């Protein structure tokens, strides 16, 4: 951070702190204090400097190379309007998988500006419509020229680097993917789209120091700090059709598995510190499970550990290599790992690819500050001397007007705002912290009418007063908001998703395929194992779907008798290369059963297009 701009921010904090202390002492019960505080901050303080753009295009590459392959598949994630689709973090049993594009994927919800300013709702699509348009041909990129790597000083401690990028480069440990066409393809795309990189690293300016520090503490490869570029373009409000959310794109089930709380007030998948902790816990778990192979661990983060484990076991049984480059994995996963390796090569030596990375100061951007209870986030921003938009950018897990009454009771604040916030918050009463007034219930009042009179929602009134069910009693003392908070657009969108979730919890028994759907994405969306979904529909997990096709999500019951179990017959169309053993494994039956159902012997040969009868055992819940 530039010393001058930092000094300016500190000066503003000092002025805000003095104003807050003086006004609160004069008017301990008046909310006018907070208004005067905000006016004082605006009148006496210079504007907060915009984070430095981190990536800038440099000299254009000139040679001619084979044209990169344009994206062909769709991703099941929210997308940047100008890039391929994003990738969702995953665990197969919990069904958090990723983008299905073999070409470079750009995660969700990118902003047109490289700063952490709020994004309009249209910049956070909850689908992949932006990725469905035909992709323009990508500019050719000159082959990587053999150049000397960036100079690293041996023996430097992490804190001794001036540029966070240099600190990261010194901790790179993964292989480069040299001579791998998939990595070169992703590298050409990234190098040809500096605007996308500028948006992503413009947002990363706020969060990257904390991620790098945590990786170093654990002794993990620092390339993993670049994984949010692939997952979400460092957009903490990124959200996919699979309901994956946050920098690390956790779906609800996987988030809960790794201790991320999710409720009406708060979603830990968007908590910068907690989601990073959970993502690194998950990656370390996968690394240990796959015997220290980081590329297989990263692949499993994308498509699920069960899928990678099956692929490894199949190769091992066939006597083939069991590294990432040799096992069979879904197309989106075969592109996912190369994206990270391409980003590593780009960050390590950007000049080779015609780019220049502006330095990121090797200093923490935010500090974690205790709130000691629930607090109105607009008031928190005012007494800290920051804008509500900036506060929500650092605390995107809170998607309401206040923090969660049940915790966590902390906020992330710019480092030079932490002390003034701590001093001011201690002088606020409980009602001042929340910005509430008291209302005595009258005859004829209901929760809905009180909410309407105070321009708030029924949920807010119930949450503020612990009213789970039932009506009101005349004379009851209710706490209600003193003013209607105006939330940033993407915070409102995050809250709306939570509010609408209850209306969509019941799954349909049959789903109509949308453009870009695959069995993988439908399975993720509905919390199912893809093999189960495929077997219910007499298909192979890799079969292509067409828009308008109807996919069965449950086995159903023709008689509606509610039996505990039964059998359903279906037919499977043999594909080129299928064997009886593979089909039996797919439908969880024995080879003799499959042969008997179809009048085949052990010497019978299968041919593509042949129809096989399958008997599925079903259980009804």
Q: What is the CATH number of the domain that holds 460?
A: 3.10.350.10
Give the pLDDT of residue 20. Answer: 37
Cα–Cα distance between 80 and 105 in angstroms, integer?
A: 9
Residue 412 located in a structural domain: yes
Cα–Cα distance between 526 and 546 in angstroms, integer?
A: 18
Relative orientation angle of helices 3-26 and 418-425, to the nearest 10 degrees = 10
**Phi, psi dihedral angles at 389 (to 5 degrees):** -60, -45
Within 10 A of 136 (CB to CB), how many other CB atoms are there? 8
Q: Are 551 and 511 in contact (CB under 8 A)?
A: yes
Which of helix, strand or coil describes residue 567?
A: strand
Residue 505 located in a structural domain: no
Q: Are residues 228 and 248 in the same domain?
A: yes
Give the pLDDT of residue 320. Answer: 94
Q: Are 524 and 99 in contact (CB under 8 A)?
A: no
Which of helix, strand or coil describes residue 49?
A: coil
Q: Any idea how long the chain is?
A: 621
Residue 74 located in a structural domain: no
Cα–Cα distance between 23 and 504 in angstroms, integer?
A: 48
Cα–Cα distance between 497 and 483 in angstroms, integer?
A: 23
Cα–Cα distance between 183 and 187 in angstroms, integer?
A: 6
* Domain range enclosing 428: 3-48+365-432
Q: Are 96 and 251 in contact (CB under 8 A)?
A: yes
Q: How far is CA 66 from CA 25, 69, 192, in A?
A: 71, 9, 14
**Phi, psi dihedral angles at 86 (to 5 degrees):** -85, 175
Q: Are residues 348 and 205 in the same domain?
A: yes
Could you tell me which residues come within 8 angstroms of residue 47 by beta carbon, excluding any fewer than 6 positions away? none
- Indicate whether this model's pTM tops 0.75: no
Residue 536 located in a structural domain: yes
**Within the chain, which residues score under 70 in pLDDT?**
1-155, 468-470, 484-485, 501-509, 526-528, 554-570, 588, 616-621
**Phi, psi dihedral angles at 391 (to 5 degrees):** -65, -45
Q: Are residues 515 and 451 in the same domain?
A: no
Q: Are residues 271 and 309 in the same domain?
A: yes
Q: Are residues 286 and 255 in the same domain?
A: yes
Residue 498 located in a structural domain: no
Within 10 A of 289 (CB to CB), how many other CB atoms are there? 15
Task: For 435-485, write each residue's pLDDT tens digit.
Answer: 888 899 998 888 888 888 887 878 788 878 877 666 788 888 898 887 766
Cα–Cα distance between 367 and 458 in angstroms, integer?
A: 34
Q: Are residues 514 and 398 in the same domain?
A: no
Please say if 486 is a catalytic residue: no
Residue 609 located in a structural domain: yes
Q: Are residues 159 and 117 in the same domain?
A: yes
Give the pLDDT of residue 484. Answer: 67
Q: Are residues 548 and 561 in the same domain?
A: yes
Both tokens of 491, joined, read 């915070």
Q: Are residues 116 and 153 in the same domain?
A: yes
Cα–Cα distance between 45 and 77 in angstroms, integer?
A: 40
Cα–Cα distance between 377 and 395 in angstroms, integer?
A: 10
Q: Are residues 422 and 447 in the same domain?
A: no
Q: Of 322, 357, 392, which residue constitutes the final position of a domain?
A: 357
Within 10 A of 112 (CB to CB), how many other CB atoms are there? 13
Residue 598 located in a structural domain: yes
Give the pLDDT of residue 544. Answer: 84
Cα–Cα distance between 315 and 329 in angstroms, integer?
A: 11
Peptide bond before residue 408 is cis, with ω within 30 degrees of 0: yes
Q: Are residues 176 and 218 in the same domain?
A: yes
Q: Of 335, 357, 379, which residue constitutes the final position of a domain?
A: 357
The torsion of the CA quartet 186, 187, 188, 189, rounded to 10 degrees, works out to 50
Residue 577, Cβ density class (10 Å: 0-12 exposed, 13-18 middle, ≥19 buried): exposed
SS3 content of the chain, % helix, strand, coil (to 5): 40, 10, 45
Find the catalytic residue in 148, 214, 231, 486. Answer: 231
Residue 56 located in a structural domain: no
Q: Of 414, 432, 450, which residue constitutes the final position of a domain?
A: 432
Q: Are residues 476 and 417 in the same domain?
A: no
Cα–Cα distance between 18 and 37 in angstroms, integer?
A: 10
Q: Where are the beta strands (DSSP E) in 23-132?
A: 55-57
Give the up-direction half-sphere exposure of residue 361: CA atoms within 13 A in the CB hemisphere.
12
Q: How many domains does the chain have?
A: 4
Could you tell me which residues come within 8 angstroms of residue 216 by beta carbon, excluding any fewer than 6 positions away? 158, 171, 222
């Amino acid at each position: 951070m530039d010393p001058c701009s930092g000094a300016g921010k500190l000066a503003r904090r000092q002025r805000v702190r003095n104003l807050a202390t003086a006004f609160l002492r004069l008017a301990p019960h008046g909310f006018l204090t907070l208004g005067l505080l905000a006016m004082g901050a605006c009148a006496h303080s210079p504007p907060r400097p915009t984070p430095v753009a981190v990536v800038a295009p440099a000299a254009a590459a000139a040679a001619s190379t084979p044209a990169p392959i344009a994206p062909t598949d769709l991703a099941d994630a929210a997308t940047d309007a100008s890039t391929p689709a994003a990738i969702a973090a995953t665990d197969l049993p919990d069904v958090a998988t990723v983008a299905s594009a073999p070409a470079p994927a750009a995660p969700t919800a990118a902003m047109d500006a490289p700063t952490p300013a709020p994004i309009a709702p249209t910049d956070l699509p909850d689908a992949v419509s932006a990725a469905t348009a035909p992709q323009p041909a990508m500019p050719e990129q000159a082959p990587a020229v053999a150049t000397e790597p960036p100079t690293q000083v041996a023996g430097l401690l992490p804190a001794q680097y001036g540029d966070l990028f240099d600190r990261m480069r010194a901790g790179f440990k993964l292989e480069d993917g040299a001579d791998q066409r998939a990595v070169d393809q992703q590298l050409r795309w990234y190098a040809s789209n500096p605007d996308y990189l500028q948006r992503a690293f413009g947002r990363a300016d706020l969060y990257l120091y904390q991620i790098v520090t945590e990786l170093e503490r654990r002794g993990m490869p620092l390339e993993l700090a670049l994984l949010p570029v692939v997952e979400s373009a460092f957009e903490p409000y990124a959200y996919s059709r699979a309901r994956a959310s946050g920098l690390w794109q956790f779906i609800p089930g996987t988030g809960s598995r790794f201790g991320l709380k999710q409720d009406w007030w708060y979603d830990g998948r968007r908590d910068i510190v907690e989601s990073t902790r959970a993502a690194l816990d998950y990656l370390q778990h996968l690394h240990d499970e796959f015997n220290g192979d980081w590329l297989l661990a990263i692949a499993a983060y994308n498509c699920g550990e069960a899928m990678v484990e099956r692929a490894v076991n199949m190769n091992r049984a066939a006597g083939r290599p069991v590294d990432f480059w040799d096992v069979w994995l879904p197309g989106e996963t075969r592109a996912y790992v190369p994206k990270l390796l391409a980003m590593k090569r780009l960050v390590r030596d950007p000049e080779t690819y015609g780019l220049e990375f502006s330095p990121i100061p090797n200093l923490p951007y935010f500090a974690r500050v205790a709130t000691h209870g629930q607090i109105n986030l607009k008031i928190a921003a005012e007494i800290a001397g920051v804008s509500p938009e900036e506060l929500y950018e650092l605390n995107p897990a809170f998607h309401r007007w206040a923090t969660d009454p049940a915790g966590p009771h902390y906020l992330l604040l710019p480092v030079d705002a932490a002390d003034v916030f701590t001093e001011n918050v201690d002088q606020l009463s409980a009602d001042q912290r929340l910005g509430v007034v008291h209302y005595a219930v009258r005859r004829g009042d209901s929760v809905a009418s009180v909410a309407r009179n105070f321009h708030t929602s029924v949920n807010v009134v119930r949450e503020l007063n612990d009213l789970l069910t039932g009506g009101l009693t005349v004379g009851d003392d209710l706490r209600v908001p003193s003013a209607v908070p105006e939330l940033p657009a993407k915070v409102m969108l995050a809250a709306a998703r939570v509010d609408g979730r209850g209306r969509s919890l019941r799954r349909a028994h049959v789903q109509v395929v949308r453009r870009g759907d695959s069995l993988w994405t439908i399975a993720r969306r509905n919390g199912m194992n893809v093999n189960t979904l495929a077997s219910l529909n007499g298909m192979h997990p890799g079969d292509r779907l067409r828009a308008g096709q109807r996919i069965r999500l449950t086995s159903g019951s023709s008689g509606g008798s509610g039996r505990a179990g039964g059998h359903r017959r279906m037919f499977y169309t043999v594909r080129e290369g299928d064997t009886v053993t593979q089909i039996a494994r797919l439908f969880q039956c024995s080879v003799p059963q499959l042969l008997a159902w179809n009048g085949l012997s052990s010497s019978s040969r299968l041919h593509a297009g042949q129809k096989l009868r399958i008997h599925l055992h079903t259980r009804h819940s």
